[in-house]
Each structure stands twice: as C-alpha cells, then as structure tokens.
Amino acid sequence: MAKHDVHQFCARLGLPALVIGLSGCVMWMREPEFYTEELSELLEQRSEAIEACYDRFLSEEDPKAQGEVVVNFEVEAKTGELTNIEVSPDSPKTPEALARCVTDELDTLALDPPDVKRAEATFTWAFVLGSQKRPPADPFAGAQEAVLACYSDHLREVDREARGELVVDYALDPETGAVAKLELVSDATTAPAPVVECATAALESAHLDPAKLDERNQSGRRTFALRYTPHEPQG
C-alpha cells in the first residue's frame, strides 16, 4: 500500500478504528462501505485470471457462454481468509465450469490486513462477451494451391471420384516460422495414399512469418478436406 493510500486508508477507518486487544495485538475494524471497497479491490486482483479461465471456456466448450455467477463467502476475522465459498442458490443458471473459474480463484485469497470483524459477502461476476477474435494467420495458406494440385491430378489420372481427409499434427519453428514437425494422423486420414504423399510434401514446405505466430497457429492438428464439385455435362 503506497503512503498516500495509507493516509486515505486511515482517514476512512471507522470508529473505533483500532481496537487494542487484551493480548496487546492491534487489529483493524473497517466500516461496511470501506470493507466493501477493500474486498472488491482484493477480488478484482483475480479478474485477469478469471478472464483467462472464461476465455478458455469460450474456446473449448461454448463460444456463446455468458451470464452471471453469484458467490457467497465469508471473510474470517483476524486472519482475513476467505472461507465457505459457494455459488449462491439464487445465482442464475450458469455453466458450472464458469462458476468454478471464480470459486477456484477466491479460494487462494485473504484480506490483508485482516479485520476484527467477520464478514459475510455476496459478490456477483458478470461474464460478458466481447467482440470475436480475429483468426490467426494460416501457416499452410501458401501450400494450399499445391495440395489442391495433388488432389486434382489424382482425380484426373487415377480416380475421378476420390475424396477424403488429410489430417496432420504440426509444429512450426518459432524462430523461423518453418515447419519443424509434420506427422500424419493415420487413423483420421481417409484421402488416397498418393494424394497424401504428394500433399504432405507440399505442407512440409509451408512457412509463416514468425511475427504472425501465436499460440493458436504455432502448433496443432489440421484437417484438410479434399472434395470436388461433381462434373456437370454440358448441354
């Protein structure tokens, strides 16, 4: 706490501001309004972590999830620990995982300095959707034409009704943006073997400007669906 904050803090302590215990310890006693403000500041320290948790939930579970979570908890006197943290029965119906984003973070917090009085708190977290993220740059955009050429050649020369998927696990070198790993996922790949061989060779030569790399495109699994538009006889 900065010096001016301490002055402000002391000025806003209620009466009796300090209670001298029989044991000689000095404990703080906050007015309700100040208690609320201090507790809010404490909780907001975890907003970034909860946002990250929310972000993961949107990416992995439900991209449209939003809503409110009401959490009841207590602040123990003298220790400042947050205890009995539980989602309020009155909380709107919100995915359990989102509620856990909040309760897991609260579990590690403590009010410092503690207060002589125990507090019963009810806070609400509103999960709000922002604008949609921009898609990451495609590391294989430059190889797309070559992959399609492999497929078109096969249609023309071997089997005009061939189709299927090519699935690879890949990783790019973060320094150069070149393909460092490219492994065929055999179980999921259904494209004809000659197309797979030709297309993976094209994908291995893919490259992305390292400045455009992020956690979403640096590595992962990629599926290329190879399909054709049926030939329409003229006339």
Partner 1 sequence: MTRLAPTILLLAGLAQAVACSRVTTVAPEEPIQIQARPPAAPRPGLPAVPQPPPPSRVTASGDLLSLDEALTFDEEGELSSEHQDILAELARWLATNTEVVELTVEVHSIGAGSRRAHTKRSQALATQIVDALVAAGVDAERLVAASVGASEDGQRDVVLRITARAEAAAVEE
Helix (H) or strand (E) holding 67: strand 67-75
Residues 62, 49: Cα–Cα separation, whole Å: 18
17 touching partner 1, by CB under 8 A: no
CA–chain centroid gap for 142, Å, is: 29
Q: Which of 82, 99, 109, 121 binds partner 1 (CB under 8 A)?
A: 121
d(C-alpha 184, C-alpha 227), whole Å: 19
Is the CB of 68 or the CB of 204 nearer to partner 1?
68
- Contact status, residue 186 vs residue 227, Cβ threshold 8 Å: no
Q: Is 93 in the site for partner 1 (CB under 8 A)?
A: no
Distances (CA, A) of 142 to 6, 19, 47, 62: 59, 71, 40, 31
- What is the nearest approach in angstroms of partner 1 to the Cβ of residue 193? 18
Which pairs count as long-range contacts for 143-150, CB under 8 Å and 24+ apart, including other chains?
143/202, 143/203, 143/205, 143/206, 146/199, 146/202, 146/205, 147/199, 147/202, 147/203, 147/224, 147/226, 150/195, 150/198, 150/199, 150/202
Q: Which is nearer to partner 1, 126 or 211 (CB)?
A: 126
Does residue 108 belong to the site contacting partner 1 (CB under 8 A)?
no
The interface region with partner 1, picked from 1-9, 12-20, 174-182, 202-210 by CB under 8 A, is 12-20
Count of residues engaged in binding partner 1, rule: CB under 8 A = 68
Touching partner 1, residues 126-145 (CB under 8 A)? 126-136, 138, 144
Is residue 208 a contact point for partner 1 (CB under 8 A)? no
Is 124 near partner 1 (CB under 8 A)?
yes
**Would you count residue 168 as binding partner 1 (CB under 8 A)?**
no
The torsion angle over the Cα atoms of residues 216, 174, 223 and 228, rounded to 10 degrees, is: 110
Q: Is 89 in the site for partner 1 (CB under 8 A)?
A: no
By CB under 8 A, residue 229 contacts partner 1: yes
- Is 9 a binding residue for partner 1 by CB under 8 A? The answer is no
C-alpha distances in Å from residue 171, one per residue of 56, 202, 217: 21, 15, 8
CA–CA distance, 94 with 68 (Å, rounded to integer): 7
DSSP annotation of 135 reads P
Q: Is 21 in the site for partner 1 (CB under 8 A)?
A: yes
Each residue 64-83 as x (binds partner 1 by CB under 8 A) or -, in order, gives x---x------x-x------
| 43 part of the interface to partner 1, by CB under 8 A | yes
Residues that bind partner 1 (CB under 8 A): 16, 19-22, 29-30, 32, 35-36, 39-40, 43-44, 47, 50-51, 54-55, 58-59, 63-64, 68, 75, 77, 115-136, 138, 144, 147-148, 151-152, 155-156, 160-161, 216, 224-231, 233
